[in-house]
Amino acid sequence: MNRIASEKVDFARAALIHSPDLDKYHYPPSCPLDSQRAGKARRIIKEMGLQDGPQRREVAPLPATRDAMETFHDGRYLDILAQAGRGRWSAEGQGMGLGTEDCPVWVGLYDYASLACGASLKAAELILAGEASVAFNPSGGYHHAHRSEAAGFCYINDVAVACMHLARAGKRVLYLDVDAHHGDGVQEAFYDRKDVMTISFHQDGRTLFPGTGFEDEIGIGEGVGYTVNVPLPMGTYDQAYIKAFDAISLPLIGKFDPDVIAMELGMDALAGDPLTQLELTNNTHEHVIRSVMAFAKPILAVGGGGYHVENTVRSWALAWGVMSNHREDSTLDRLRDIPAAPQANLRARVNADLHETIEKVQANVFPHHGL
Ligand SMILES: [Zn+2]
């Protein structure tokens, strides 16, 4: 069924959202998030010819408007954030998470965050206008920003705003978050809604920031069953992840039947990330992306975490190559990780933990969808 449908979506109609203006901004050096990763991924994409072809293009964003950002964020929070972006610290801002180690106050932060948000909005607009089948903003994915609170290197929740834009246009949106951290801000935005389903795979909140995203967080009111959380044990490796992903996401996406699929492609679940304890290779991300493409829906993709810079940018280039339907598979080989072979005792521990998680998530969520 999906194969026939996929012939109707030409994923080579792909837009990379970027502009040199995004490269002008730097988080303070004390902050592990490197905002230059998007530009670095773009360079690899260009150099490898992954941008070639008549239908692949680069589109420059404009900053998100205040109105657009207010579809999720509180107005007062945006005022204080704009002041922080001029370097002004305030006690009120501190109460909103600003001026912390994770979300420092720095000159330019508001301009950067609103431009990164505008880039995700541009991706949504291209998809709505039918001008692209896939649109990727590697400068996006700031999924921890709350309605009126900055958190985890995130000030403006570009991807929640982009999903809101799609939903306001009447689209059913499936949001899939494979960052190592729980997509808490996006969950918050849609917790009581059934037109946007959020699915987050992340390292167990008992062992990693932000400490949420458990199996029993499934939405409220009309939204019950439309928030899905899959906490992963430390050491989760490719085969175990893929088993959980296939068992949970594929039936739900099929049943939900979205108009658009939004993906947060944080690359901090890769082995070697200095902030997390998952052990994936980017072959898992490729599996996830190809599985999502099989549903033959337009894809809005954003970046996210990823603190091993080289691994992150290489994997975003791979993600772009896969999403924009490059047929010459051997070109992409240069970007793929070597599959890893975890030790038997690790496999046994992870498998036992994950088996239990899969059963819990299915029991909590599937009955709401007749599965
Ligand atoms: Zn993350």
Distance 328 CA to ligand 1 centre (A): 31
Mean pLDDT across the stretch 130-149?
A: 98
Q: What is the pTM of this model?
A: 0.97
* pLDDT exceeds 50 at position 329: yes
Per-domain residue ranges of the chain:
2-369
Q: pLDDT at position 7, please?
A: 52
Distance 370 CA to ligand 1 centre (A): 32
* pLDDT exceeds 60 at position 6: no
Q: pLDDT at position 3, please?
A: 42
- Label residue 15 by pLDDT band (50, 70, 90): very high
Q: pLDDT at position 320, please?
A: 98
Region of 207 please: left (phi>0), alpha (psi -120 to 50) or beta. alpha
Question: Can you tell me the distance from the alpha carbon of 198 to that of 129, in angstroms, rounded to the nearest whole number?
Answer: 23
pLDDT (tens digit per residue) in 164-179: 999 999 999 999 999 9
Q: pLDDT at position 341, please?
A: 82
Q: pLDDT at position 273, please?
A: 98
Residues 136 and 302 sit within 8 Å (Cβ to Cβ): yes
pLDDT (tens digit per residue) in 148-164: 999 999 999 999 999 99
Distance 273 CA to ligand 1 centre (A): 10
Distance 371 CA to ligand 1 centre (A): 30
Distance 54 CA to ligand 1 centre (A): 34
Work out the percent of the chain whose per-residue pLDDT is above 90: 95
* pLDDT exceeds 90 at position 328: no
Structure tokens at 113: 């965050």
Greatest Cα pair distance in the chain: 57
Mean pLDDT across the stretch 324-340?
A: 90
When the pLDDT of each residue in the chain is averaged and rounded to a whole number, the result is: 96
Question: Can you tell me the distance from the alpha carbon of 145 to that of 184, in angstroms, rounded to the nearest whole number?
Answer: 8
Distance 180 CA to ligand 1 centre (A): 5
Q: What is residue 301's three-state secondary structure?
A: strand
> Per-residue DSSP letters for 95-159?
HTTTTSSSS---TTHHHHHHHHHHHHHHHHHHHHTTS-SEEEETT---TT-BTTB-BTTBSS-HH
The H or E element spanning position 176 is strand 173-177
Q: pLDDT at position 340, please?
A: 86
Tell me which of 144, 146, 165, 326 is the catalytic residue: 144
Tell me whether residue 287 is one of the annotated catalytic residues.
no
Is 4 or 26 the better-scoring residue by pLDDT? 26
Query: Which residues are 232's β-sheet partners?
Result: 203
> Per-residue DSSP letters for 304-370?
---SSHHHHHHHHHHHHHHHTT---HHHHHTTSPPPP---HHHHHHHHHHHHHHHHHHHHHHGGGGT
What is each CA distance from 98 to 78, 94, 107, 211, 356, in whole angstroms? 12, 5, 13, 19, 38
Distance 100 CA to ligand 1 centre (A): 17
Distance 275 CA to ligand 1 centre (A): 8
* pLDDT exceeds 80 at position 30: yes
Distance 213 CA to ligand 1 centre (A): 13
Q: pLDDT at position 327, please?
A: 79
| Fold of the domain built from segment(s) 2-369 | Arginase; Chain A (3.40.800)
Q: pLDDT at position 5, please?
A: 46
Q: pLDDT at position 310, please?
A: 98
Distance 150 CA to ligand 1 centre (A): 14
> Per-residue DSSP letters for 205-236?
TTTSTT----TT----GGGTTSEEEEEE-TT-
Distance 305 CA to ligand 1 centre (A): 4
Least confident of 2-16, 67-81, 203-217, 227-241: 2-16
Mean pLDDT across the stretch 107-111?
A: 97
Is 329 or 337 the better-scoring residue by pLDDT? 337
Q: pLDDT at position 1, please?
A: 39
Q: pLDDT at position 18, please?
A: 98
Distance 141 CA to ligand 1 centre (A): 9
Mean pLDDT across the stretch 52-80?
A: 97
